[in-house]
Amino acid sequence: MKSYLEALANGENLGVSEMSEAAGLLFEDSVSDSEIAALLMGLKMKGETSEEIAGFVEALRRHALTFSKTYPGIIDNCGTGGDGSHSFNISTTSAFVLAGAGLKVAKHGNRSVSSKTGSADVLDALGVALDFTVEEVDELLEDNGISFLFAPHVHPKIKRIMKVRKDLKVPTVFNLLGPLINPVELDTQLLGIYQREGLEMMAQALHHLGRKRAVVLNGAGYMDEASLAGENHAILLADGKLERFTFHPEELGLNTYPLEAIKGGNAHDNAEILLRVLKGEKGAPYQTVLLNSSLALLAHGTAADLKEGIALAEESIQSGAALSKLNYLIEFSQKRKKGVKEA
């Protein structure tokens, strides 16, 4: 560890394999809390690179639960958080729209960190279990096309590192890692970040991590989701190449709304908004979900452009397919709780 800390202190960048080894040492009992803090702060002070982010992710995934099954084209859609918008759970709602459109979705998430309500909070309020086993996740992905992976459950060895992170009380590389450490081997991803200047770095990190296709976006108002409030900025990763693009909701046949129109509340408030959207209630939350779902469909390659993605997303909702994916997950969780499962 000493050599890596010295390198960071000297302003040197670590390669993917070096960072992976250094981050792997954080799980060793011989490494102190002070050394964990030093590594996190060394990266922060120097400034993280895409290679360092990818290497850190590799180390965290090595110590997560192991998912051996592979699903061609499997996707996750998530933002880093930290945008201060207090929006409802846009990515979580969109995940069911994607599943309803026929995609395999491994939705990885956590309880609230920087917002009022995290994905785990809203799903818990809806009755979805947070501790699916590896076998149950595989079963849900196979039969339902979507499952939820609760970060603390699938990363059981990370507790001490997270305590140090919390004690530091300043943003660290972990503020970027959350959406990247899904233990399921992803082919594609929609990743939202609140720092527009970090778009290319995060897109390069996804490339290092082997994503075949991805979209990294920063929304109007510097949201970590696509926003109806104005111009959005994004990068498409496809065939190893990065393509920058911008889009405005009005260009896509959507309305503009201020950020206040998509504010959420506590877990039960956001669960109600999620259900209203999946039941087809029109308005700012509905159109926001259409826009974000369309970006994920573009990232996946199912939609050739955002207009086609919006049409596919709307069909998923209006047909009832998206809501049925949520209902399946809730019913599975309830039967599991009672110790009863369908044969």
Question: 300 among the known binding-site residues?
Answer: no
Question: 111 among the known binding-site residues?
Answer: yes
Beta-carbon neighbour count of residue 6 at 10 Å?
11
Question: 187 among the known binding-site residues?
Answer: no
Question: 107 among the known binding-site residues?
Answer: yes
Question: 92 among the known binding-site residues?
Answer: yes
Question: 112 among the known binding-site residues?
Answer: yes
The CA-atom distances, in angstroms, between 187 and each of 65, 181, 214, 243 are 18, 13, 8, 18
Question: 82 among the known binding-site residues?
Answer: yes
Distance of CA 115 to the CA centre of its chain: 14
Question: 225 among the known binding-site residues?
Answer: yes
Question: 32 among the known binding-site residues?
Answer: no
Amino acid making up residue 309: G
Instruction: Please give the Cα distance from 260 to 87 (Å, whole number).
Output: 8
Q: Classify residue 144 as left (phi > 0), alpha (psi -120 to 50) or beta.
A: alpha
Question: 316 among the known binding-site residues?
Answer: no
Question: 224 among the known binding-site residues?
Answer: yes
Question: 94 among the known binding-site residues?
Answer: no
Amino acid making up residue 95: A
Question: 110 among the known binding-site residues?
Answer: yes
Paired strand residues for 107: 148
**3-class secondary structure, 3:** helix
> Minimal CA–CA distance to 300: which of 189, 143, 198, 167?
189
Q: Judging by DSSP bridges, how do beta strands 241-247 and 188-192 pair with one another? A: unpaired
Question: 12 among the known binding-site residues?
Answer: no
User: Going by C-beta distance under 8 Å and a sequence separation of 6 or more, which residues neighbour residue 261?
Assistant: 228, 283, 284, 285
Question: 30 among the known binding-site residues?
Answer: no
Question: 114 among the known binding-site residues?
Answer: yes
Residue with tokens 């290679």: 51
Q: What is the chain's length?
A: 343
Question: 319 among the known binding-site residues?
Answer: no
Do the Cβ atoms of 329 and 144 come closer than 8 Å? yes
Residues tagged in the binding site annotation for Mg(2+)? 91, 224-225
Residues tagged in the binding site annotation? 79, 82-83, 87, 89-92, 107-115, 119, 165, 224-225
Residues tagged in the binding site annotation for 5-phospho-alpha-D-ribose 1-diphosphate? 79, 82-83, 87, 89-92, 107-115, 119
Residues tagged in the binding site annotation for anthranilate? 79, 110, 165
